[in-house]
Amino acid sequence: MNDFPMMTSGALRAALLCTLMAGGLAATTTGARAQDVGHRLGSSNHVIEEPLQELVKRRRPKGQIYVSIPQALVILANDGMNRRSVCSPQIQVNNSSNQTMEELVAGIRYRKQGNDKSAGSTIARFYVLKVGKQDLTHLSNAIDVGNCDNLTGELEVIECTYSNGADCSADVRALAYGAIPLKIIDKK
């Protein structure tokens, strides 16, 4: 039912059309314009035509991935009839970057301080380490030395990949603190 009994539907359409046209004329005569034309921050000249995810990935610094040996345990190994002490370093990785680390493969060469003699080596693999998380190896990297005293480690990053496929080798840092100080060596 029509609330305006005096107006026919044709007259109502005509009145609505006139109102819309009058509003458009008023906007052009008063200098009204779209926001993106009048304001420099809203102008299309300053808007980058790129997906937001790509822009965020490219512009944000990734941060660091820290590798350390906070604890090294002397354990008694049973080798048949012989019992001997071995050192078992616990390798810890902290993801302080802003990207999930998909995989880190690192090799560590251990040396005795003083005589610079090789004390052994190990390879460790860490995978799917989320932002702000850490992972620690437990009793899996035994070195055939009598104790854990005076050891140093040289860390070589074999492979490091973020979850988006980007290489994270340059973001890995070896820490010279903890039970066995580490230093990073470059691939040759």
pLDDT digits (tens, 9 = 90+) for 22-74: 655 555 555 544 445 555 555 555 556 777 777 666 655 678 999 999 999 99
Amino acid type, 74: V
- 48: its two tokens: 């980058």
Cβ pair 37, 45 in contact under 8 A? no
Share of the chain above pLDDT 70, in %: 70
* Residue 103 clears pLDDT 90, i.e. is over it: yes
Q: Cα separations (Å) of 174 from 25, 156, 163, 170?
A: 69, 9, 21, 11
| Its pTM surpasses 0.85 | no
